[in-house]
Amino acid sequence: MPKKNALPPSLKLLLEKGDTLYQAGISVDCVIFGFHEQQLKILLLKVDTVHKWALPGGFIKKTEPIEAAAYRVLQERTGVKDIFLQQFHVFGAPDRSDASIHQKRYLNFGVKIPKDNWLIQRFITVGFYALVDFNKVSIQPSEQEAQWQWMDIEYLNSLMMDHAAIVQKALETLRTQIAYLPIGKNLLPRKFTMPELQKLYETILNQKLDRRNFQRKLLSFGILNRLTETKKGGAHKAAYLYTFNEKKYQKALKEGLYGSW
C-alpha cells in the first residue's frame, strides 16, 4: 500500500496535466458482455475508495476519435483485440457525474482536488457495448483498481452513478440489434453446437425459441459452416459442430440480416 501522500504517478498526471491530455467533460463507458456456463455476464471493477462496482471506462485523448478511445480502454482492460464494439447511447444527465468519487480517491493519499479542477466538473459519457470471448479475456488492472469480476447480468450488485442505467440500455440495444446483426462469433468458442448458439440467443433475449425454427433461420442466413466433427462427451446424441463463415459474417455485419426472433 502506498504511504500517505505518495500519490501514484498516473493520478498525479491526471490531476496536474490531465486537462491538457484529455478532452474535458466527456468520457467513455464500456459494457463488456461475456457468455460463460450458459449465463450472460458483465465485466465490472471496484475501486477501493469508492466501494461500489463500476463499468470500465476512461477519458478521451484530445488527439483520438471517441471510437478509438473505447477500443483503447477495452484492449487495455481485457487484452482482447478481436472486439465487437458498438456505440449505443450518450448519457448526459446534469447530475450523473459524482465529484466525490475522485475526491475520495485523492483524499486517500492526502490530496485535495481544487474546486476548478477538470476532474470534478460535469461529464457526459458515450456508452459502448462490447462482445468478447469469456475465455480469452486477460484482465489488466491499473494501479488504482482493486478488484475485477464477471457478474451474471441478472444479479448485478450496486453500481456507482448511473452505471446500472447504462447496463440496462446496453442490454436493450443488444436485444434489438440481435434481430438484424450476427453476434455469436465474439461470445462463443470458435467451434460450437447449434444448441449452444440457441442458448446464447435465448439468454440474451430472455425467452425460449423453437429449436427447429431457430436452426432453419440461422442456416438460411448462410453465415455458418457445419463441420464433419461432432461434440464429444454429451449424454445425448453427439451434436455437429459449427463455425462462422468469416467472409459472410463480415458481410452480414455491414449489410445486416433480416427478420426477428
Give dist(CA 235, CA 243) in Å, integer: 22
Is 260 part of a structural domain of the chain? Answer: no
The CA distance from 184 to 37, in Å, is: 15
Q: Specify the pLDDT at position 236.
A: 64
* 166 phi and psi angles, rounded to 5 deg: -65, -45
In a domain, 101, yes or no: yes
Is 112 exposed, middle or buried (CB count within 10 Å of its CB: 0-12, 13-18, 19+)?
A: exposed
Of 63-67, 174-178, 256-260, the least confident: 256-260
203 shares a domain with 171? no
Judge whether 134 lies within some domain: yes
- Range(s) of the domain holding residue 188: 184-255
**End position of a domain, from candidates 157, 177, 197:** 177
pLDDT in tens, 42-77: 999 886 667 788 899 999 999 999 999 999 988 887
Q: Is the pLDDT of residue 232 over 80?
A: no
Residues 43, 138, single domain; the answer is yes
Please tell me whether residues 169 and 192 are part of one structural domain.
Answer: no
State how far the Cα of 34 lies from the Cα of 60, in Å rounded to an integer: 25
Instruction: Please state the rounded mean pLDDT for residues 212-229.
Output: 92
Q: Are both 17 and 141 inside the same structural domain?
A: yes
The pLDDT of 111-132, averaged and rounded, is: 94
Give residue 1's pLDDT: 45
Residues 18 and 100 reside in one and the same domain: yes
Q: Are residues 127 and 73 in the same domain?
A: yes
Q: What pLDDT is stored for residue 147 in this prediction?
A: 78
Q: Examine the domain organization and report whether 173 and 189 are in the same domain.
A: no
Asked if 10 and 142 count as a contact pair (C-beta separation under 8 A), the reply is yes
Same domain, 100 and 158: yes
Residue 168 to residue 177: CA distance in whole angstroms: 14
- Chain position carrying cell 448519457: 91
| Entry pTM | 0.87
Domain check: are 144 and 67 in the same one? Answer: yes
Could you give the CA distance from residue 146 to residue 141 in angstroms, rounded to a whole number?
Answer: 8
> Cell digits for 204?
440474451
How far is 106 from 102, CA to CA, in rounded Å?
6
- In this prediction, residues 214-234 reach a mean pLDDT of 87
Whether residues 158 and 219 fall in one domain: no
How many whole angstroms separate alpha carbon 30 and alpha carbon 36?
Answer: 19
Domain at 229, CATH number: 1.10.10.10
Looking at the fold, whether 172 and 194 belong to one and the same domain comes out as no
The CATH number of the domain holding residue 153 is 3.90.79.10
Nearest 5°: phi and psi at 117?
-70, 145
* Minimum mean pLDDT range among 41-50, 66-75, 172-181, 203-212: 41-50
Domain total for the chain? 2
Which of these three, 132, 158, 177, is where a domain ends?
A: 177
Domain end, chosen from 143, 177, 211, is at 177
DSSP string, the chain: -PPTT---HHHHHHHHHHHHHEEEEEEEEEEEEEEETTEEEEEEEE-TTT-SEE--EEEEETTS-HHHHHHHHHHHHH---S-EEEEEEEE--TT---HHHHHHHHHTTT-PPPTT-GGGS--EEEEEEEE--GGG------TT--EEEEEEGGG---BSTTHHHHHHHHHHHHHHHTTTS--GGGTS-SSEEHHHHHHHHHHHHTS---HHHHHHHHHHTT-EEEEEEE--S-SSSPPEEEEE-HHHHHHHHHH------
Same domain, 205 and 80: no
